[in-house]
Amino acid sequence: MKSALALALIASLAAAALPARAAGEFMTGKTLKVGLEGWVSDDSDETVRDSAAFGYVIGVHDAMSGTLVCSGDDVTQGLVVQAVLQYLRSHPESLNNSADTVVVAALKGVWPCRNS
């Protein structure tokens, strides 16, 4: 019993010593915009970053589909990415916001659901 308690205490202290993120998001509108700009360009050398941005947008779209975003069956992934990139270009004030809120705002602006 004492050894289990000691192990739990050591684990707690070790976890407390780990650095914590100051911000709640992993990606901002700015980092998303840079990645999407690279995704749509033909000469980007940052394929991992660009692919992560693409996947992020599609993931948020799919997570919100049918609740906040109603894009329909004829909408392609390319159209979704273009909608978000256009939003980021025309709303520079959103670049410091978390990427998920930016994506939702962009997609709701183009494909809102009737009940939201």
Q: Which residues pair with 65 in a beta bridge?
A: 69
Alpha carbon 87 to its chain centroid, in Å, reads 14
Residue 20: pLDDT over 90: no
The whole-number pLDDT of residue 22 equals: 47
Reported as a single tens digit per residue, the pLDDT across 29-63 is 999 999 999 988 877 788 888 899 999 999 999 99
What's the pLDDT band for 11 if we cut at 50, 70, 90? very low
* Residue 37, burial from CB neighbour count under 10 angstroms (0-12, 13-18, 19+): middle
The whole-number pLDDT of residue 25 equals: 62
Residue 114: pLDDT over 90: no
Reported as a single tens digit per residue, the pLDDT across 51-95 is 999 999 999 999 999 999 999 889 999 999 999 999 999 999 999
Identify the sign of the CA torsion 42, 46, 49, 51.
Answer: positive
User: Domains in the chain, start-ordered, CATH in brackets?
Assistant: 25-110 (1.10.890.40)
Residue 7: pLDDT over 80: no
Taking the whole predicted model, whether its pTM rises above 0.85 is answered as no
